[in-house]
Amino acid sequence: MKFTLINNIKKDNAMRLILTGFLSFILLYIISDVLVKSFGFGISVETINITLFGSEENFIDPITKASFLEFWHVEIFFMMMVLLTLSAVFIRLANRSRTFMTNTLMISAITSLTAIALAYFVSAIFIYLYIITFFIWHLSAVYMILYSFWKLYAKGV
């Protein structure tokens, strides 16, 4: 996290290159996360419902409690790493909207994690909240990444 100590990141070519690679990897992670969820866990109400609770007519068993908790645990860890490092870069580069975007990102991500757990343990109605906040935090992250790229390479900004 050396970039937090450098006065002008744009003038330090080595750090700008490192941040470019880092932001590229985070963007790749965000895109692949949507694809993995789409094909594995589901990103629609129907597919998530089938994953969590199964489908008797299709002979699909529900996810076990241990498997769900492992999934949730991994989600918490990866989200924490991505969100905290992305926010540190974004806050360092952004002048305007950094408070709003960082709060939107963090609140929607935490709500997403909470909603999927509530959907599994309390009521399937929380699947709707999960889907909405899942896409909000992913779109917020993509915006923050693209804005950070723009701030790194724009002349006179």
For each of the chain's 157 residues, which pLDDT tens digit applies? 555 556 666 667 788 888 899 999 999 999 999 999 999 889 999 999 999 998 888 888 889 999 999 999 999 999 999 999 999 999 888 887 889 999 999 999 999 999 999 999 999 999 999 999 999 999 999 999 999 999 888 876 5
Q: Give this prediction's pTM.
A: 0.88
CA distance 58 to 24: 40
Residue 80 near residue 135 (C-beta atoms within 8 A): no
CB atoms within 10 A of CB 145: 22
Sign of the CA dihedral with 72 first, then 41, 50, and 118 last: positive
- For residue 41, give the DSSP letter: I
Q: Cβ(109)–Cβ(133) under 8 Å? A: yes
> Amino acid identity, residue 76?
I
137, 105 Cβ separation under 8 angstroms: yes
C-beta neighbour count of 149 within 10 angstroms: 16
DSSP calls for 94-148: -SSSHHHHHHHHHHHHHHHHHHHHHHHHT-TTHHHHHHHHHHHHHHHHHHHHHHH
Q: Which amino acid is at 24?
A: S
